[in-house]
Amino acid sequence: MDGSGPDAMRRAMTRRAWTRRHRVTLAVAIVVILGAGALAVASHTLLRLLTLKIAVARTSTEDRQAATALLQFFAAQHPQVRISPLFEPDRLTAAAALDRGDSQLALLRSDASAQDGQTLVILRRDAVVFVAPGGSHVDSVTKLRGATVGLLDGRKLDARLLDLILKHFGIPPDSVRRELLTVDQLTEAARHRRVDAVFVVAPPASKLWLSLYTALRKGAGQPKTFEVDEAAAIAREHPVLDTIDVPKGTFAGSVPAPSDDITTLSVSHRLIAQSEMPDWLAGEITREVLTGKPRLVALDDDLAGIEAPDTDDKVQALPIHPGAAAYLTGNMPSLSDQAQNAAYWVGLMVSAAASLSAAAAALYQRYRPQEPPGRVMRLLEIWLSVRGADAAALDTLESETDALVAETIRTHAHAHERTESPELRLVTLLVVHVREAIQRRRGQMRETGRA
């Protein structure tokens, strides 16, 4: 037969069926690819508009200044990362805000850190010392029993830390009287012997020392500075604390203070992140703060003590964020590496989704309920059945062919089609070949009968 025979028709119909089956697959694949692209664009946009809240104690001047410096630094260096302050009444409530998830970052002191917080950077270390007004009999922690200690107003954590130190020395905290004072009130308190010592927790380079020593000197002459004895033992017992060496004359003033080198207790102020913060983000923040230290110090003098946390410190009381540890140990992938990994995984997921969609479409086409064969398919089946049919079967097939032709003509006549449809053309062509096949089969049967 020529190229317009039943074989050609079957090939044409097979191609049309294949096209219909795979049209759905192609559409699904396109939707998956477009969806992945939209997700990538949305993620990029969200990252460029990343906003992080940082919990800050409203009562701490040092924390407010540090937060302001960080906000200005990131606004100038990384405008796509926005940091907004969340002011809390004190450091304890700031830690609670981080635990609740109200903020992603917090400025916290080591002895009041959040349960769900992990260290990114140490911003500064405060020395813990006692300063006794001139003429006071108190010159060591052991002599504080029955004495009155002045506490700087607005520092709630200092009272807790004082209790901890007193308990270590076996001094009942309630045996030591407390008086809350501002720096401006220290002169009168020293002049009237209302305090035997002042408990101070501040950075060694803070401007607070000059004001404090000046006020005490005006009230009662030259003050005496004494350290927290057994600081190392206290730090071992309470890992959130540490020791610090304060050289002679570190505290600013006309008279060198302390008068000799001392080793005393210290607390650290830290930039803390939620443990759920992604490692890459925690690592980037850590890197920016450490490398941007000169600019941050220009904004806040107290940030001169910025340092990296010790990755070899296994104390779990103040854990380091895995992202910060990865950066500090040199294991943090670069942004280009992370982008390549993200592109690889997105491509892999798109490919897998397209393959699964194709397989699902193929299974659907294979197992979906089959529709009854149309007139064209029935004529092809008749043409294939002619070769093995007997005389009675040939008559039946011929009658069915005539009925199919009549049905096709009626259908297209009712539709008032002005152009010949593909079905009508195929039916007309197939009928010709079916009749030829029937005639050949009858001729073969006559020759067989004569033989």
CATH class of 106-332: alpha beta
Contacts 24+ apart (CB under 8 A), 38-41: 39/346, 40/346
Residue type, 46: L
The rounded distance, in Å, linking the Cα atoms of 168 and 228 is 11
Assess contact for 67 and 56: CB atoms under 8 A. yes
Tokens of 267: 């607390």
Output b/e per residue, 311-331; b: 16+ Cβ within 10 A: eeeeeeebbbbbbbbbbbeee
Peptide bond preceding 256 in cis form (omega within 30 of 0): no
Assess contact for 206 and 266: CB atoms under 8 A. no
Assess contact for 119 and 68: CB atoms under 8 A. no
Q: How many CA atoms lie within 13 A of 159 on its CB side?
A: 15
Identify the H or E element spanning 207: none
The rounded distance, in Å, linking the Cα atoms of 429 and 444 is 23
Question: Could you list the pLDDT tens digit for every one of the 451 residues in the chain?
Answer: 444 444 555 455 555 544 555 555 555 556 656 655 555 555 544 444 478 999 999 888 889 999 999 999 988 887 777 889 999 998 889 999 999 999 999 999 998 888 889 999 999 999 999 999 999 999 999 999 999 999 987 788 899 999 999 999 999 999 999 999 999 999 999 999 999 999 999 988 888 888 999 999 998 888 999 999 899 999 999 989 999 999 988 886 667 788 888 899 999 999 999 999 999 889 989 999 999 999 999 999 889 899 999 887 655 678 899 999 999 988 875 555 555 555 566 666 667 766 776 676 666 556 554 444 578 888 888 888 888 888 888 889 889 888 888 888 887 776 555 556 777 788 888 888 888 988 988 888 888 776 5
Assess contact for 311 and 305: CB atoms under 8 A. no
The rounded distance, in Å, linking the Cα atoms of 283 and 325 is 8
pTM above 0.75, yes or no: no
Radius of gyration of the chain (CA): 44
Q: Give start and end residues of each alpha helix (H) in 386-421.
A: 391-414
- Altogether, the residues listed in the chain come to a count of 451
Q: How many CA atoms lie within 13 A of 191 on its CB side?
A: 9
The rounded distance, in Å, linking the Cα atoms of 373 and 17 is 13
